Chains A and B, each alone.
Chain A
């Protein structure tokens, strides 16, 4: 069972282009994290949005149910810790994480 093609050559777009923009969204980089995840304490959070704007993997998105706060996305977070260092109020901190919890759906803090 040597390497085989992933799709028929006839099904490739012209010039092997990728015609679905942002198809990487289906790729789980969350499993790159090991043993811990960043968690936001919304009491301390001042809604400055630095975690949202400074995350290299765009894991934070506005929480529709709580104006100004941000949800964290387990599916993409690689556990780099930039948000923890850059949060002006140290509202984000590491929390131990068991393997099975990693693949939960995108969840709020």
Chain B
């Protein structure tokens, strides 16, 4: 089983990222779970969202305390300290930042495997909005082939209809441009 924790802010679509990934995994015949950190989310307030994907039925209702992967949608959250909490040894940090990997590691005090992409820039160029939830899925897939990239097509279409294509393009670009350092 792989456990992924997303960090974002109210209104940035972190929960949607989880849901799309879960739907893709389920479509591949796997078992999956996607859920937000329950609470009075407010637009702009930091929040977490959780994703579990497994080949076996998942009988766990806990939050994710020791993720395999942490995905940080909002650059500002990197320095707020808790994004790397509980990351399993050998786990990967996937971050949206315009800075090189070394700076990102410095900002959040993490020395392990790190994947970085400037998702905000890509999202604005491809979709005209700085919403990075689908773009960052490209970085996640680059960091770990959790699901097939094209398994995300159907969930994206179902969720975004006409603008699904732009989201997919932004996602694919992030996949290419993501830098990973062990």
- Chain A residues at the B interface, C-beta cutoff of 8 Å: 1-3, 29, 31-35, 78-79, 99-100, 102-103
Cα–Cα, bound, A99→B72 (Å) = 15
> Are B62 and A31 within 8 A (Cβ)?
no
Please, which residue of chain B has its CB at the minimum distance from the CB of A78? B44
Assess whether B86 is in contact with A1, with CB atoms less than 8 Å apart.
Answer: yes
- What would 5 more interface pairs be, CB under 8 Å, given A34-B74, A35-B120? A32-B44, A33-B76, A78-B44, A99-B78, A99-B107
Interface of A is mostly: loop
8 Å CB interface, B9-50 against A: 9, 44-46
- In Å, the complex CA distance between A7 and B99 comes to 39
The minimal Cβ–Cβ distance linking A12 to chain B, given in whole angstroms, is 21
Interface size class of B (residues with CB under 8 A): 10 to 19
Closest to B45 in A: A32
Q: In this complex, what residue of A is CB-closest to B120?
A: A35
Distance from B11 Cβ to chain A, minimum over Cβ atoms (Å): 10
Residues of A close to B45: CB separation below 8 A: 32
Residues in B neighbouring A99, C-beta threshold 8 A:
75-76, 78-79, 107
On chain B, the residues within 8 Å of A79 by CB distance are: 44
- Closest residue of B by beta carbon distance from A102: B76
CA distance A100 to B46 in the complex (A): 17
B93: min CB distance to chain A, Å: 16
Contact with A along B112-155 (1 / 0, CB 8 A): 00000000100000000010000000000000000000000000
A69–B90 CA distance with the chains assembled, in angstroms: 53
The docked-state distance in angstroms from the alpha carbon of A99 to that of B95 is 14
Instruction: Report 8 cross-chain contacts, Cβ distance below 8 Å, ordered by A residue.
Output: A1-B86, A2-B62, A2-B65, A29-B44, A34-B76, A35-B120, A99-B76, A102-B76
> Chain A nearest CB: distance from B73 CB in Å?
11
Alpha-carbon distance A103/B62, docked complex (angstroms): 33
